[in-house]
Amino acid sequence: MFKVGIIGATGYVGVELLRLLLNHDKVTVTAISSSTFKDEEISSVYKSFFNKTTLVCKDKSDVIDKCDVIFTALPHGLSEEIAAEAISKNKKVIDLGADFRLECEDSYEEWYGKKFTCKDIHKNSIYGLPEFNGSKVKEFNIVANPGCYPTSISLGLMPLLKNNLINTKNIICDSKSGITGAGRGLSLKTHFAEANENFAAYGIGSHRHTPEIEQTLSYMANENVEVTFTPHLLPVNRGILSTIYCQPKDKLTLEEIHEIYKKQYENEEFVHVLPLGQTAEIKHVKYTNNCHISIHQNYRKNKIIIISVIDNMVKGAAGQAIQNMNLLLDLPQNTGLKLIAPSF
């Protein structure tokens, strides 16, 4: 059994990691940490773990010392030094924050207001979108787990970009996320009275996932890709639905586009291309590591419309991190992730 630990275990992403890892039959959760709830049992913070685990939140050093693989579920700017210490002790790190997602330090400083503090270790990290570069993950000691919006959008566009089928300068990504995407810390927009019976855009033209989306899509296309990305807050707990609009370079039938998508993802465990005529919906991927994609077309405007849905806490965060862990440990990607969405 591999020993794994979570630094930042009491945030929404950290506790989702713990929920999934406790059901993984190839790893043991050996240690967890929390700066807010240090020395408290996790079951006292989240009652769902009562009689399921006796893990106590300790210091981050305890996690590094006791574990083979460390998950860092922390705000940006806090994972670099932890990762540096961990890999100096021959540990593997999967970071669910933003510290290793952007390759360009100037871009990181522009969007996050910080410079890289441990510059040398970035060359030992990889952006871990398994369906795109999963074969390379185990060659690195640090995996940057993708953001939730970039995961939904990247999987939605990858077949078109890899096959050079669309204009890369006028892609529109219109995404909606459940409230858990904002994290456990309370803000005005996540108050019940503000979010309930409401639907609002935010981060318009300035959301921090924009450079990550463009960086990933540019690698897929092998040319510079520009997007107009607007996120929205849905009054639901979890889930992301991205509606993506793009212009094909040549006339393509809906059937031809659909075949391209099916071929791209035919061997992928977690990406499912729905039959033509069906529409991807959040409820069909909740609590799973799946991404559902449906293909549509506006014939009058010659536009391709892609709908891509994921659970922002699983495929968009904790589940994808475990998928990356499985790749690091040379385990089947679906180990611990054979999850089925509830029917209602």
- Which residue is catalytic, options 57, 67, 104, 148? 148
Q: How many CB atoms lie within 10 A of CB 158?
A: 23
User: Residue 254 and residue 308: Cα distance in Å, rounded?
Assistant: 16
Question: Is 173 an active-site residue?
Answer: no
CA 67, chain centre distance (Å): 23
Q: What is the DSSP letter of 243?
A: E
Sheet of 2-7: strand order equals 57-58, 27-33, 2-7, 69-72, 92-95, 142-144, 125-127
List CB contacts of 299: < 8 A, sequence separation 6 or more.
Answer: none
Please give the C-alpha separations between residue 22 and each of 15, 45, 55, 285, 334, in angstroms, as whole numbers: 11, 16, 11, 21, 15
Catalytically annotated residues: 148
